[in-house]
């Protein structure tokens, strides 16, 4: 209504209590909506007088309205459409980065615990150098795999032991590993629409039918999953990329039921699960599954640093 000019600049919004009564919703819901409007610059608080609509320049208004029309009036993706690809990577380093860099997937260099990291590396090199020269376990350092399994049990309720953890050189490597393990069982590939480009590229090169599944405000639409047996589904339930939705428990359970009924497997990319604005994260699909149908893939690229190239995959016991 603000963008359409129905509520003009300078007009006051209704008091939160009054609007809550009128809409028959919680007052907290109205207050959260008002806070969002203020944060995005649509309104401004004037002391105890209330919230008032801010003026928006004609050029900015035109740009917003054109963007809104392209989003709302365009065709809605369905299960038969091509995947809408979005890239969640880095275009590369170097000195050509802009001063204000909003590219997704990068952590703040100043936040890396460099002094602690240097101290630990120096201590380990003084004590043990065998790992630098010997051929070690192809699944990764046992100590690292043990630490990852402990972290997953505590933070994501994924009950795995170190022998079920495989260390990789990032999330993409983990997806590649799981796909190559399961491709003999797979008859068709399912992927979120829109989705993470890296996963889509792996699937596109597989010479198998791809079934894009639309997402909504609660993540992947489980009611639109194909009924055919032998599917492999890639999903980001903790933080759907790029839409950002968190899949609720009821839909997670429906997803696991679908996998059981269709003899399918799920690759759970736990993208951004370490970051929450409020409350603990929901139990991972792999934690709910009990080690039957879900391969869990993760990375420390966001929480520690992408340059370290540390990812991992967990494998159910049957494999």
Q: DSSP string of 35-50?
A: HHHHHTTSEEE-GGG-
Q: Environment class of residue 99 by beta-carbon count within 10 Å: exposed (0-12), middle (13-18) or buried (19+)? A: exposed
* Exposure of 76 in the CB half-sphere (CA atoms within 13 A): 5
27 to 11, 20, 33, 50, 244: CA distances (angstroms): 21, 5, 10, 15, 25
Task: Spell out the residues 6+ positions from residue 260 whose beta carbon is closer than 8 angstroms to its own.
Answer: 292, 293
What is the pTM (predicted TM-score) of this model?
0.65
Q: What crossing angle do the helices spanning 16-23 and 27-39 adopt, rounded to 10°?
A: 120
Kindly state the greatest CA–CA separation across the chain.
72
Q: What is the DSSP letter of 287?
A: H
The sign of the CA dihedral 97, 98, 101, 103 is negative
- How far apart CA 174 and CA 228 sit, in angstroms, is 26
Task: Spell out the residues 6+ positions from residue 48 whose beta carbon is closer than 8 angstroms to its own.
Answer: none
By three-state DSSP, how is residue 52 classified? strand
Spatial contact of 194 and 83, defined as CB atoms under 8 Å apart:
yes
Structure-token pair, residue 73: 């009036």
* Exposure of 84 in the CB half-sphere (CA atoms within 13 A): 13
If you count them, how many residues does the chain have? 319
Q: Choose among 235, 225, 245: nearest CA to 286.
A: 235
Each residue's pLDDT expressed in tens, for the chain with a length of 319 residues: 887 777 888 889 999 998 999 889 999 999 999 998 888 788 899 888 889 998 865 444 444 444 444 333 444 334 344 444 443 333 444 455 667 767 776 777 888 889 999 999 899 888 877 777 888 889 998 999 999 999 888 888 888 899 999 999 888 888 888 888 888 888 889 999 888 877 877 877 777 888 899 999 999 999 999 998 999 999 999 888 888 888 888 889 899 999 999 999 999 988 777 777 776 667 788 888 877 899 999 888 878 877 888 899 999 887 6
Spatial contact of 193 and 233, defined as CB atoms under 8 Å apart:
no
- β-pair partners for 265: 232
């Amino acid at each position: 209504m603000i963008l359409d000019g129905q509520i003009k600049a300078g007009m006051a919004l209704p008091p939160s209590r009054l609007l809550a009564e009128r809409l028959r919703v919680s007052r907290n819901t109205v207050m959260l909506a008002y806070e969002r409007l203020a944060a995005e610059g649509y309104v401004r608080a004037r002391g105890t007088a209330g919230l008032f609509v801010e003026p928006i320049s004609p050029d900015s208004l035109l740009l917003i309205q054109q963007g809104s029309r392209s989003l709302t009036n365009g065709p809605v993706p369905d299960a038969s459409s091509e995947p809408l690809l979005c890239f969640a990577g880095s275009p590369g380093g170097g000195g050509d980065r802009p001063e204000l860099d909003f590219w997704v997937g990068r952590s703040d260099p100043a936040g890396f615990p460099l002094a602690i990291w240097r101290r630990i590396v120096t201590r380990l090199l003084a004590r043990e150098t065998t790992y630098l020269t010997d051929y070690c376990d192809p699944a990764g350092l046992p100590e690292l795999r043990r630490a990852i399994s402990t972290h997953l049990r505590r933070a994501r309720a994924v009950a795995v032991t170190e022998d079920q953890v495989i260390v990789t050189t990032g999330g993409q490597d983990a997806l590649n590993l799981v796909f190559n393990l399961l491709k003999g069982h797979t008859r068709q590939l399912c992927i979120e629409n829109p989705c993470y480009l890296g996963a889509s590229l792996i699937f596109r090169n597989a010479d198998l039918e791809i079934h894009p599944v639309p997402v909504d405000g609660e993540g992947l639409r489980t009611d639109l999953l194909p009924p055919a047996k032998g599917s492999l589904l890639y999903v980001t339930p903790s933080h759907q990329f790029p839409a950002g939705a968190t899949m609720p428990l009821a839909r997670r359970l429906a997803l696991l039921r679908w996998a059981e009924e269709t003899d399918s497997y799920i690759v759970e990319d736990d993208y951004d699960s370490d970051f929450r604005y409020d409350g603990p994260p929901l139990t991972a699909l792999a934690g709910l599954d009990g080690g039957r149908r879900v391969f869990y893939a993760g990375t420390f690229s966001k929480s520690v640093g992408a340059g370290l190239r540390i990812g991992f995959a967990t494998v159910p016991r049957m494999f």
